[in-house]
Homo-oligomer: A and B are copies of this chain.
Amino acid sequence: MDSKSCSNDVDVETKEMDTRSLPASRRGLMHLHKVGTPPKQNLLREFTARVNETFFADDPLRPFKDQPRSRKLVLGIQAIFPIFEWGRSYNWKKFRGDLIAGLTIASLCIPQDIGYAKLANLDPQYGLYSSFVPPLIYAFMGSSRDIAIGPVAVVSLLLGSMLSKEIDPNLNKAEYRRLAFTATFFAGITQATLGFLRLGFLIDFLSHAAIIGFMAGAAITIALQQLKGLLGIKNFTKETDIISVMHSVWGNVHHGWNWQTILIGVSFLSFLLVAKYIVKDIEKGINPSSVYQIYFRGEYLLKGLKIGIVAGMIALTEAVAIGRTFASMKDYQIDGNKEMVALGAMNVVGSMTSCYVATGSFSRSAVNFMAGCETAVSNVIMSCVVFLTLEFITPLFKYTPNAILAAIIISAVAGLIDIPAAILVWKIDKFDFVACLGAFLGVVFKSVEIGLLIAVTISFAKILLQVTRPRTAILGKVPMTNVYRNILQYPEAAKVPGILIVRVDSAIYFSNSNYVKERILRWLMDEEERVKAACQPMIQFLIVEMSPVTDIDTSGIHALEELHRSLEKKNIQLILTNPGPVVMDKLEASRFANLIGEDKIFLTVADAVSSCSPKQADEV
């Protein structure tokens, strides 16, 4: 037998050495700490805990605990309308900050709104309407102090591109607008529902990297659309992809091939010429009601619903990302789900008052932050300025040249192209970069929807890949310590002769159970070949380090059983170390712990290794 040669080579801790002379059973009891099995939980309690962790991870009811009923009512009102919470400590100093910030963003927002409304193929006043009502609602219900509300470029572009696929905005202006309100209504419903059902985590499925790519692509697409205004082109394509747009631009240059000079010339010329094409009339007066314009039946109901869901999700993603960024800068918490309810309510009300989808605007929020805003009151100030504009001075905007609007929009969206962030993504994770690039190219070369689809698909593919092909590692003993680590990361870590230690780096589920089993057997085969070639002792023990295995399901247990059966045929003992509470529970429920023997489950790899070696010694 090889076990003879084994016992001499095995690397045993000095601490364990002196226990060797004891009988195996007593020795086990002395220095090995038993793996804990958590107390059996009530099924209902277990289920409740899981649901709580999924939907109420932020423990929203914590402040309500142990409070008298009247206090609970106050807290409840404050939870829905945070203004009653922070409003109590509002003072003049804060108001000064908010006033300055509010006036600053108002000056930015008016030309932006006019431009964005054009991206959405709506008349300019609808952009202004959307900067009047929604910020007011948000000020009462929102929990972010820095976000500035209004229409945003990406959502306007997305909405414009999706709506005009259903109805031609030039031929059926009124119907197009009705569909826009319908989509806005359902965008609001989607947002509020997600928040109310505490499904806010769904937007986490759009990865950060994909958003970087998507935003950069959208920015370029929006900038390209401005070529129409900037160059004064009349027959412009309705598509948004770079090829169609460039075709439109080229098609308007009826000259030879020396396009550089032509482009520069045309740009300058058009810049001057185009100043003549001015924005058409902006209707005077504040938002008219649009309740009866929303389609609540007919074929456009479903179309509006579909567009609303997509636009609502994208708007959410942007608002939540902005809210989180500024909250972490000033170190306060925003409640994602509550925030969604606020954004949803504001869009539902907006859809009834002639607004289209509004959300947190990145450029506007950044300016708001820089100008020293203190609370959501800056939104109220902006809203008031927009109100005055609508009531009194809209006629002045008649004279805003298209070229200037285009320049303002381009400078606003330029901030969405974040090249350093893309470089960082490349450095950290290549797969993330593929998602980023895919979303970018999809938006630029095809359409906003395709870019979005690519981003979501790649994000999901990444999750699935992670789940199907978990990592495994061979562990060795780090010299001078009692710890066992990945030998690829710690080349100085030494394998223990006669024992193969494999760590599985993921929960074992149906999606990977078969792979995990086969991967472990392949590690074993490789090791047996190596050992044979090197004339070292044969493998007698396979230790599976289960620390990272946080859960296991029926398929996982089956895979372990099959592994055990295969090992038995080879006369190799299967040993598990450090299964977590859930895994231990399931190993017992399925009687697998009995099958391999309770004494084959150890607290640490070191314990397991030391239990192997003396046994070999005993057998000799």
Contacts and interface: CB of A to CB of B under 8 A. Distances in A.
B554 A428 contact: yes
A380 B459 CA distance: 47
A73 to B, nearest CB: 25
A488 B589 contact: no
B463 A467 contact: yes
B514 A207 contact: no
A486 interface: yes
A509 B53 CA distance: 18
A204 B518 CA distance: 14
A425 B586 CA distance: 10
B518 A331 contact: no
B465 A584 contact: no
Contacts of A36: 485-486, 489-491
A195 to B, nearest CB: 15
Contacts of A59: 522
A490 B581 CA distance: 9
Nearest to A569: B331
Interface in A461-491: 462-471, 473, 478, 480-483, 485-486, 488-491
Given A468-B204, A505-B548, A553-B428, A603 B483 contact: yes
A252 B212 CA distance: 64
Interface in A314-371: 324, 328, 331, 336
B469 A584 contact: no
Contacts of A466: 467, 507, 509, 551
Interface residues on A, range: 35 or more
A208 B554 contact: yes
A250 interface: no
Interface string A416-433: 000000001101111110
A201 B471 CA distance: 16
Contact of A581 (B58, B483, B486, B510): B486
A240 interface: no
Given A36-B489, A38-B489, A206-B510, 9 more contacts: A54-B465, A208-B553, A324-B514, A328-B562, A427-B590, A481-B604, A485-B578, A488-B581, A506-B507
Interface of A: 33, 36-38, 43, 46-47, 53-54, 57-59, 201, 204-209, 324, 328, 331, 336, 424-425, 427-432, 459, 462-471, 473, 478, 480-483, 485-486, 488-491, 505-507, 509-515, 518-519, 522, 547-548, 550-551, 553-555, 557-558, 562, 565-566, 569, 578, 580-582, 584, 586, 589-590, 603-604
